[in-house]
Amino acid sequence: MEKSSKIYVAGHRGLVGSAIVKNLEKKGYNNIIYKTHHQLDLTDMQAVAEFFEEQKPEYVFLAAAKVGGIVANNTYRAEFIYENLQIQNNIIHQSYKHEVKKLMFLGSTCIYPKNAPQPMKEEYLLTDTLEYTNEPYAIAKIAGIKMCESYNLQYGTNFISVMPTNLYGPHDNFDLEKSHVLPALIRKIHLAKLLYENDHDSVIKDLGVETIDEAKKYLQKFGVSKESVEIWGSGKPRREFLWSEDMADATVFIMENIDFKDTYAKDEKEIRNTHINIGTGVDISIEELAKSIQKTIGYEGKLYFNTQKPDGTMIKLTDPSKLHSLGWKHKVELKDGIDQMYQWYLKQNES
């Protein structure tokens, strides 16, 4: 990519897209284009076609997606498969039609089987059954990988798929119902600390309600009180977390240096599993994570693990060897990332 290349970042307001835009700008790219959902509905085939015809981007980062945690994935199953398929089908196909030089499709490590060997290598894709709670989302992402591979093989495009592990960082979703585990824990434990300290004004401001009684009643639904914070499951599942700005650096590095032909061995008769894991190769239990966040925030109440709630996949760790061999490795360790993310959250609440 040249510094003046026209680069389209789909999903620029989200955790992933905003980090990519920040990284591109930091590296001197000065012709970045994007549209809000209000300006461009990516599920609308005609609207996306008109956008590509008008703007003619040279490079595309496909970071737009409908995302959520275990509750949202399991509750809104139809929306997760339909919207994600529509978004990626429209953007990938229009990128082919308008001769985009390179596209990057961002997926998720939930594409791997529920009982995949650990750590998960790219070759484990489609070898067993998926985790049920996020199966619709995972199938959409697998379809995106195969769409990129298929267009490359049939049309000679240069579309690359990357599968980031669990991400966290600035602009994350802190919604108590729909967020992923790490931001949800930060907000729940932060609110519990405010209740513990009787800082009712801050609780009311954070939740945007009228009274502390209203706030407490709402927080009861999520197991948050001054005395304790409820966490779904046993706390035993292990998860890997990657700082979103590290992920963005990896994606830009790949776009700058790697082509589709570099993602598979030259002697392969069947070209598949060309996607690239983006992760740290290090995991932590949910219990350890919660205690680390509790220590960072300074909450003195108790953590309660509700074993009546589902754990999800017990272990989900990526093998980032392929990415390491291509020349990139993460920089931000989890402890430092949690502190930076909490400070970011506090600043948002000050405004």
Residue 238 is inside which H or E element, if any? Answer: strand 238-239
- Residue 11's alpha-carbon distances to 19, 34, 65, 349, in angstroms, are 10, 8, 7, 23
Least Cα distance to 223 among 156, 282, 286, 301 occurs for: 301
How far apart CA 297 and CA 186 sit, in angstroms, is 8
Least Cα distance to 262 among 328, 329, 330, 322 occurs for: 322
List the catalytic residue out of 29, 59, 112, 137: 137
Least Cα distance to 73 among 136, 21, 154, 146 occurs for: 136
How far apart CA 80 and CA 72 sit, in angstroms, is 9
- The verdict on whether 137 is a catalytic residue reads yes
> How many other CB atoms sit within 10 Å of the CB of residue 125?
19
Residue 15 is inside which H or E element, if any? Answer: helix 15-26
Active site residues: 137
